[in-house]
Amino acid sequence: MPLLPAVRHRAGTTWRLLLKELSAFGVVGAASFVLDLGVFQLLYAWGAEAVTAKLVSSVVAMTAAYVGHRFWSFAHRERSGYRREYLVFIAVNGATLLLSLAVVALVRHGLGQQAALVLQAANVASIGLGTVIRWFAYRRWVFRAVQEPPSVAPAGGRPARGVGRLSGGEPATSGA
C-alpha cells in the first residue's frame, strides 16, 4: 500500500493548513470585531445615528481585516492581484455590511429600540452571521487556493509514476 503514506501526509497537511487558516481568521476577526464594536460605541456615544455609526465602524474594521487576512490568514494562497482581491473583498464585505445595516435598522427603526445595549446586541448578532458568510466567501472567491497545473497523463489515461503534485505543493508519488 504505497499510496497510504501519501494520503496520510496529504490529510495531515490539509488539517494543519485549515487549522492555521481558521486560527488566523479568528484572531484577525476578533481584532476587527473589537475595533468594530469600539468605533460603533464611540460614534454612537458621541451622538452619531446608529446606522451611520455602524457604517463607519464596519468600513474601518473591514479595511483592517483585509490587511490581516491577506498578509497572515491567507498569505499562503494564490495572489491574484491586490486590486482584484480588495474589490472582491469589498463586495463580500459590502453584502455582509448591508445585512448588518438591515439588522441594526430593523431593531432601531422597525422595533423602535433606542437603548445602546439592545442596538449593540443587534450589532453583535449581525457580525456573527456575517463572519460565517465571510469565511466561506474569502476561501472561495477572495483568497483562492493555489491552482496546480494538471499532471500529464500518458495515453492510458493514468498519470505516470511519480508525476503530479498534491494541492499543497508536495510531489505526489506512487512509491515503488
Distance between the two ends of the chain, CA-based, in angstroms? 10
Quote the pLDDT of residue 146.
79
Find the mean pLDDT for residues 117-134. Answer: 91
Cell numbers that stand for 73 in this block: 490568514
* DSSP per residue, 41-104: HHHHHTT--HHHHHHHHHHHHHHHHHHHIIIIITTTS----HHHHHHHHHHHHHHHHHHHHHHH
> What's this model's pTM, rounded to 2 decimal places?
0.62
pLDDT digits 0-9 by tens, 16-64: 888 998 999 999 999 998 999 999 999 999 999 999 999 999 889 988 9
C-alpha 10/C-alpha 172 separation (Å) is 9
**Given pLDDT bands bounded at 50, 70 and 90, which one contains residue 9?**
low
CA nearest to 57, candidates 84, 82, 38, 80 = 38
Confidence bin at 151 (pLDDT 50/70/90) = low
Instruction: Of 124, 143, 129, 139, give the one whose Cα is nearest residue 33.
Output: 124
Check pLDDT > 80 for residue 158.
no
Under a CB-based contact definition with an 8 Å cutoff, are residues 74 and 138 in contact? yes
* Model pLDDT for residues 61-83, shown as the tens digit of each residue: 988 999 999 999 999 888 888 88
Domain boundaries defined on the chain: 3-142
Mean of the per-residue pLDDT values of the chain: 82
Tell me, what's the pLDDT at 17? 85
